[in-house]
Amino acid sequence: MQFFIDSADVGEIKKALAMGLCDGVTTNPSLVAKTGRKFSEVLKEITSLVPGPVSAEVTAVDHEGMMREAHALAKVADNVVVKVPLIVEGLRVVRDLSSEGIRTNVTLCFSPVQALLAAKAGATYISPFVGRLDDISEDGMAMVAQILEIYRAYDFATKVLVASVRHPIHVLEAARLGADVATIPFNVIDQLARHPLTDAGLKKFLADWEKVPKEK
């Protein structure tokens, strides 16, 4: 399973790259707004740092507007993937962009049927938002399992990118299900490496090492 970092913070992305845990990046308008920087400036810097796919989202909701923004984003760098919302006009955009060879990430997916439509439209990635479903007492990972079942049954090329990841259990379940990608906030990536028994064991090893006679 690939790890994408869900961030527009260049500092976080550099840390994830240094750990070998950044196969790509996903951004959205909310993440970019947190940086306080211009979107074009942020996107150019991220695409120059990250060799893998970098998802950048359109903000228009009409076909013409989304196509215009998508073409502008695709020109920024070869590794840009255009994020398109899962709405009727968005599916038209995905179909058109796919015919032009422009990769797409269909975002804000909340049902397996929506994911089926995105795959039929030719999406490169589908982004089911598991955390937001959990927030309203639905099972986000159950949705991912159903999407994977459908895609495998019909051999769709669309990759399942598990999004809205809130904690390590989401990552574990995504990996067990065989999802292609999980896009993960940096704080969750950091949590993945931590375990209290690891910390306790290391502390004991170091304490015992201090008791070993040292060579002069």
What tens digit of pLDDT does each residue of 84-115 get?
Answer: 999 999 999 999 999 999 999 999 999 999 99
pLDDT at 214: 84
Question: Does some domain include residue 95?
Answer: yes
Question: Does some domain include residue 216?
Answer: no
Say which residues have a Cβ less than 8 Å from residue 182's Cβ, sequence separation at least 6.
1, 2, 3, 4, 161, 162, 165, 170, 171, 174, 175
CATH of the domain at 83: 3.20.20.70
Neighbours of 70 (CB within 10 A): 25
**Residue from 156, 168, 164, 157 nearest 192 by CA:** 168
CA distance 164 to 8: 15
Question: Does some domain include residue 24?
Answer: yes
List, for residues 160-189, the tens digit of each pLDDT value.
999 999 999 999 999 999 999 999 999 999
Q: Which amino acid is it at 2?
A: Q
Residues spanned by the domain of 173? 2-211
- Active-site amino acid positions: 83
Structurally, the chain folds into a number of domains equal to 1
